[in-house]
């Protein structure tokens, strides 16, 4: 009787671990997709307003420090380049196919 319970327990444990891993992976894909869209949207906003010599991106990087180091001057420049290079449709279509 104990062996049957142990086998059931081990099978349940295996299923639970698989469920946790699968859902953790899905969550990571969703979070990564949201971050990519965030970076794209920030880049698009920057591209609408920046002008040469205005120090717009430098000021933004200082004003966004409360959100961490991810919004540094160089990262904001990369976001603007990213938004210049790709269209919204390209980004959203690619990400949509990745979300489970």
Q: CB under 8 Å to 36, separation ≥6 — which residues?
A: 91, 95
Residue 22 has what pLDDT?
Answer: 93
Residue 37 burial class via C-beta count within 10 angstroms: exposed 0-12, middle 13-18, buried 19 and up: middle
Q: What is the pTM of this model?
A: 0.75
- The whole domain housing 36 covers 2-98
Number of domains in the chain: 1
For the stretch 36-61, pLDDT in tens is 999 999 999 999 987 766 789 999 99
For the stretch 17-34, pLDDT in tens is 999 999 999 899 888 888
Judge contact between 46 and 83, C-beta under 8 A. Answer: yes
């Amino acid at each position: 009787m104990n062996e049957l319970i142990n086998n059931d327990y081990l099978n349940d444990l295996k299923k639970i671990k698989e469920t946790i891993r699968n859902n953790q992976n899905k969550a990571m894909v969703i979070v990564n997709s949201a971050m990519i869209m965030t970076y794209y949207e920030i880049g698009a906003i920057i591209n609408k307003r920046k002008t040469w010599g205005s120090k717009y991106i430098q000021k933004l990087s200082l004003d966004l420090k409360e959100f961490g180091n991810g919004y540094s001057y160089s990262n904001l420049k990369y976001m603007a380049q990213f938004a210049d290079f790709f269209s919204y449709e390209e980004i959203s279509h690619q990400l949509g196919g990745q979300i489970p």
